[in-house]
Amino acid sequence: VTSNFIKGAEETLKIAKECNAKKAILKAEHITKIYGQRTIIKDINIELHQGELVCLLGVSGSGKTTLFHILSGLTTPDEGHVYLNDRDITSTPGQISYMLQKDLLLPHKKIIDNVSLPLILKGMKKADARAKADPLFTEFGLDGTQYQYPSQLSGGMRQRAALLRTYLSSNGVALLDEPFSALDTITKSNIHKWYLNIMTHIDLSTLFITHDIDEAILLSDRIYILNGTPGEIKDEIVIHEQKPRPDDFYLTETFLNYKRDIISRL
């Protein structure tokens, strides 16, 4: 037992050192937001390292979406700052891409024009924006859909298109607010694997909101537990198993131990 404990402690220390050695591409320091007389989130400190997928897990009303609005520059915090590659981007929208639960594809626009919309909004000509977006359709598993409309795509394909649009406005960091919650179980499982693969391929770092504990364990490198009123970071959990995790990982005792631990902290 002692030997196993020491081995586990050494492994945790090793991972902590590796995390510290990685570059923190996104940092939020001492973020507090107050609406009226109510403090929504208080003294939030989080980091996202290069290439990580970090999950923000918490019950409804704990302030997850408020925090994402602040990270994306849509909302100004009452206290604290947000840094992207050590540059202060507090209250500066357009620096980090932000994908909501719904894909929000415009039904009257072809998929290539939906995807390239962020480039056009930044001043790029339509033809140039299309030319930049088009080669990525193959990588995102969307080749052949460029001139179709959103209504012609399945739910999973629409989410891929929305994720490609997110990537084109990302600066290497994506904020995802429960993007897979509307998908059926099989489609969600497939798109999980696909997203982890595409993240590695295009060197994308992701901060991810979910209410789904299983999803958090399956996808994350680390999990922040946001809880309480006002919402505060209560815990940080490192998921040690290498990604992508086996298809039957959710049936293992290791997975169940993570789940029990998270439930007890929530």
User: Is a pLDDT exceeding 80 seen at residue 226?
Assistant: yes
Tokens of 48: 């996202």
At 200 the pLDDT is 85
The model's pTM: 0.81
- Using the predicted structure, report yes or no on whether residue 209 has a pLDDT greater than 80: yes
Higher per-residue confidence, 201 vs 161: 161
CB 34 within 8 A of CB 78: yes
| DSSP-assigned beta bridge partners for residue 57 | 210, 225
As a whole number of angstroms, the distance between CA 48 and CA 102 comes to: 24
**Model confidence pLDDT, tens digit, residues 128-176:** 999 999 999 998 889 999 999 999 999 889 988 988 998 887 778 989 9
Which residues are CB-neighbours of 7 under 8 A, at least 6 positions away? none
Residues 6+ apart with CB under 8 A from 134: 112, 146
What mean pLDDT is predicted for residues 22-51? 94
- What value does the mean pLDDT of the chain take? 88
The total of other beta-carbon atoms located within 10 Å of residue 230's CB is: 17
Is residue 25 a contact partner of residue 85, using CB atoms and an 8 Å limit?
A: yes
pLDDT for 91 equals: 95
pLDDT of the residue at 161: 92
pLDDT tens per residue, range 83-124: 999 999 999 988 888 888 778 899 999 999 999 998 998 889
Of the two residues 22 and 146, the one the predictor is more confident about is 146
